[in-house]
Amino acid sequence: MNTLLPSTTRYIRLALGKGEVAGDAQRRNVSIVRGMFSGLAGRGVAMVVSFFTVPLTVRYLGAERYGAWVTISTVMAWIAIADLGLSSSLTNAVSEGYARENQDLAGDYVAAAFWSLAAVAALLSVLFFSLWRVVPWDRVFNVQSAQARAEVGPAVAIAFAIFVLNFPFSLVAKIYGAYQEVALANGWAAVGNILSLAALVAATRLKGGLASLVVAVSGSVLVINVTSAFFLFGWSKPWLLPRLRRVTWSAVQRLTSLGGMFFVIQIAALVLFQTDNLIIAHYLGAAAVTPYSVTWRLFTYTMIFQILASPSYWPAYAEAFARGDRAWVRRSFRTNFRITVASTVILALPLVVYGQWIIRKWAGSAAVPSSGLLLWMAIWSVIYAATCSQSLILASSSRLRGQMIYSLSAAIVNIVLTILLVRKIGQTGAVMGTISAYATCILLPQWIEVKRALGDKVPICAESRLPQ
């Protein structure tokens, strides 16, 4: 531990541009530090924007139209998995091109991913707009007022149009990440948050209604992504410009092969994380969902280290694997795993003790959970953070077949156990079912896969320090 602070201080200084980076290992470590600090700053900006956005939109739209707006945003987030895992597979492919210093290889993969997503967006557009006119959107969203009924249909159409236009440009952040420039991607995201707030203020002052707010918020994201793409392809890395003639079948085949497995894992994750509330609502009533959901959200903050670290570690691991530098991956994984687990435990323990008081002040007495639920949520947060650290190794090394099987198995086991335990012991049974599914179906099997990926040696109990 004595070497940890000096090493950390040195990398922070290098990340701030004070000193010269020497070698691939230092370059990766510095990019990770920059990515984490910029991610923390970006989340701070997002929190400030959210602080002003929520009351502004609630007061302007009213409860009914605000609920419709939130629902539209949620559905768009769900549809985002329709990228079929291409953005995730692109991270590995471009990282490989970066490691080999092969600009043509990276450019071919970018072109294949960009135009594949453009084709998916076109297909989604045809399907959606062929049905849009016949869907009674006011009934779908169960809105009653004349104003809300008139606005919700056009708002859905505009939101979807912006979404599909943004689909291929959503790759830009992944490309920055593959070149270990996560800090730059975080900077663009922060600018997008600020622009969306400014656009939202303008829309409310002009009294444009629900559709104008959709344009303000979603349109701002599209504008930033397109501008970032122009910067990336026109100035920063022009060799990546996704010309249609650069699309090759071999590149599409590799991206879709890996992407398909990523897609299955994403679906399994949705099932794992979204079914608990449905099961609780069905067997215990909708009111029982509130304390469970609020407690779950609170404990996600205990995993802040891994949340901030993942976007930087993934491409760094992928590049190191492509160069054959497994020694750096082993050292980095050891550090990531130990800090992830330790930081999650440190942040979770106070919530076990003071969680009821915090939630009562934060969300009201109706959201206060039992002490047992707090304890099991703490255990869950540690297990989940550990599996996320493992998953980065498997994702970056493209060892997805096993992870896909583990995730599907965990989703099935989770549903069965959660139903049985919720019926017997209530809300706590939901998180106990999730823990059991994760510990048996994911944590242990993934650990074996990780050891194989790293050369069958993962000295977690060795001294923790930043890799040199």
Residues 6+ apart with CB under 8 A from 245: none
Residue 392 or residue 288, greater confidence: 392
Instruction: Enumerate long-range contacts of 63-69, CB under 8 Å, 24 or more apart.
Output: 64/143, 64/144, 64/145, 64/148, 65/143, 65/145, 65/147, 65/148, 65/151, 65/152, 65/210, 67/141, 68/141, 68/143, 68/148, 68/152, 68/155, 68/210, 69/155, 69/210, 69/213, 69/214
Residue 13: predicted pLDDT: 63
Cα–chain-centroid distance for residue 402?
21
Least confident of 44-58, 217-231, 408-422: 44-58
Residue 212: predicted pLDDT: 87
Residue 19: predicted pLDDT: 60
> pLDDT tens digits for 159-172?
899 989 988 998 99
* Spatial CA neighbour of 95 closest among 449, 397, 388: 397
The radius of gyration of the chain's CA atoms, rounded to the nearest angstrom, is 23
Q: Is 447 exposed, middle or buried (0-12, 13-18, 19+ CB in 10 A)?
A: middle
**252, 110 contact by CB (below 8 A):** no
Average pLDDT over residues 449-455: 88
Structure tokens at 91: 């991270």
Q: Where are the domains of the chain?
A: 20-247, 257-468
Residue 456: predicted pLDDT: 53
Residue 6: predicted pLDDT: 47
Residue 458: predicted pLDDT: 41
Cα–chain-centroid distance for residue 198?
25
Residue 236: predicted pLDDT: 92
Residue 432: predicted pLDDT: 94
Residue 73 or residue 466, greater confidence: 73
Residue 10: predicted pLDDT: 63
Residue 374 sits at the vertex; the CA angle it makes with 373 and 380, to the nearest 5 degrees, is 85
Average pLDDT taken over every residue of the chain? 85
15: confidence class by pLDDT, cuts 50, 70, 90:
low
> pLDDT tens digits for 314-323?
999 999 999 8
4: confidence class by pLDDT, cuts 50, 70, 90:
very low
Average pLDDT over residues 32-46: 84
> pLDDT tens digits for 95-111?
998 998 899 999 999 99
Instruction: List alpha helices for 171-209, DSSP H.
Output: 171-178, 182-206
Residue 127: predicted pLDDT: 92
> pLDDT tens digits for 116-125?
999 999 999 9
User: The whole model's pTM is what?
Assistant: 0.80
